Amino acid sequence: MPHVRSECAACGGQLREFLNLGSSPLADRFPLKPGGEGPAYPLAAAYCLDCSLAQLTCVVDDAELFGEDYGFRTAGSPSLVSYYQQWADDALKLAGGPVPVADIGCNDGTLLRHFRAAGCPVLGVDPSVAGLDAVAAGIELYPQVFTPAVAKQIREEQGSFRLVTAINVAAHVQDPADFLRAVRILLDDEDGLAIIEFQDLEYLIAGCMFDHVYHEHRFFYSAATFGHVAAVAGLSLVQYTHTPGQGGSIRAVLKRSRDVMDFMVPVSRLASIQGLAGLQRRAEFSRDVLLELLDRPGVVAGYGATAKSATLLNYCNIGPDLVPYVEDTTPGKIGRFTPGTHIPIVGPGEHRLPDIFLLLAWNYLGDILRRETVFTGLGGKFIIPGPVPFVI
């Protein structure tokens, strides 16, 4: 059963709610038949008045979130596989060449396969069933939630690592400081590097990306709040860059810090009480505009049964009456239904082309436009759901 967070997970500070999306089912649980997705839970995010960390107030436990029917597979997204190739190349440049790599939240091992092909000894950690695909690819896996105790066990059994990576994992953890303490345990004492990528709260605010808010994403970081938690965990944020991942992410590079609090927190441009204050109204406005755009003649289909679309479709109450099917490239999702809104998920090309695709995988807009030239050439349109929904 979920529990209500009444104080900040990082510092115990007072929380102030800035976004309330009603209740929503678990975003990555795609039922075999309508109604099979399990319960919906309250979906709301708050901001700590002391350390500024943004976080969910209804916390669903790992066993329920990442259970046997967890639907996300990295390899299910063609664009993500190539993004991870480049990611691995960039990481090895920073590390100075092939080094032992541990990937936390490795999912199906897509990133580790790129590191292995580059000559690195690799190890994965992931409690979800996706990890079984990594094992099938010959990757050694610790199928547990990554905690300091698990990190100590890995260090005793495998030694330390020159590179520890985590892409789109830091948002999912139970306790950010504990997660980063565990990363620190794995790192080589001298020249260990942790490279951690997570959605940027400032981009979420600027782009009104409220669909990034779902139960798997327990925390939403800016560079400032992430650097602060890292410092508490004994890591220094030595550099960070912005990346296009998930609509706007931060790629942070961390090292074991000499002095635990040697980090100067950069001033956040948007992730502040003022920046967050307007998000609720902007989400409501965005929802109303999307429903107006859908209230037009023509067949609309969804493009990409993403986890984020569970929030968008449930919050906007968009079901099969408005969107009769969603196309998706992940084999394990095809033949199932979208959680809570029960729209059938089909494979690409199973239906004749619609008039309009509602782009639920909007974070891959560029790749998808380059790929879907036949559809657009025939006059097909895309509805892009944010920051304010529009048609191209």
- Shortest distance in whole angstroms from residue 273 CB to ligand DWN: 25
Give the one entry of Zn ion, ligand DWN, none that residue 8 binds, where binding means its C-beta sits below a cut-off of 5 to 8 angstroms depending on kind. Answer: Zn ion
CA distance linking residue 9 with residue 92, whole number of Å: 33
With binding defined as CB under 5 A, does residue 48 bind Zn ion?
yes
The CA-based diameter of the chain, rounded to the nearest angstrom, is: 63
- Shortest distance in whole angstroms from residue 6 CB to Zn ion: 12
Q: Which is nearer to Zn ion, 10 or 120 (CB)?
A: 10
Give the one entry of Zn ion, ligand DWN, none that residue 363 binds, where binding means its C-beta sits below a cut-off of 5 to 8 angstroms depending on kind. Answer: ligand DWN
- Shortest distance in whole angstroms from residue 388 CB to Zn ion: 31
**Strand 300-303 to strand 356-359: parallel, antiparallel, or no bridges (unpaired)?**
parallel
Token pair 């590390």 in the structure block, residue: 95
Please provide the DSSP assignment of 162-207 as one string. Answer: SEEEEES-TTT-S-HHHHHHHHHHHB-TTT-EEEEEEEBHHHHHHT
Give the one entry of ligand DWN, Zn ion, none that residue 257 binds, where binding means its C-beta sits below a cut-off of 5 to 8 angstroms depending on kind. Answer: none
With binding defined as CB under 5 A, does residue 201 bind Zn ion?
no
- Shortest distance in whole angstroms from residue 175 CB to Zn ion: 12
Structure tokens belonging to residue 248: 């706007």
Spatial contact of 250 and 204, defined as CB atoms under 8 Å apart:
no
Q: Which is nearer to ligand DWN, 232 or 345 (CB)?
A: 345
Structure tokens belonging to residue 381: 């349109």
With binding defined as CB under 5 A, does residue 324 bind Zn ion?
no
Q: 387 preceded by cis ω (within 30°)? A: yes
Q: Which residues bind ligand DWN (CB under 6 A)?
A: 28, 72, 76-80, 168, 216, 246, 304-308, 328-330, 333, 361, 363-364, 368
- Shortest distance in whole angstroms from residue 303 CB to ligand DWN: 7
Q: Which amino acid is at 349?
A: G
In the bound state, the residue with its beta carbon closest to ligand DWN is 306
Q: What angle do CA 21, 25, 28 make, to 5 degrees?
A: 115
Site for Zn ion (CB under 5 A): which residue of 21, 26, 51, 293? 51
Total residue length of the chain: 392
With binding defined as CB under 5 A, does residue 312 bind Zn ion?
no
Q: Which of 72, 71, 65, 54 is nearest to 11 (CA)?
A: 54
- Shortest distance in whole angstroms from residue 352 CB to Zn ion: 52
Q: Which residues bind Zn ion (CB under 5 A)?
A: 8, 10-11, 13, 48, 50-51, 53
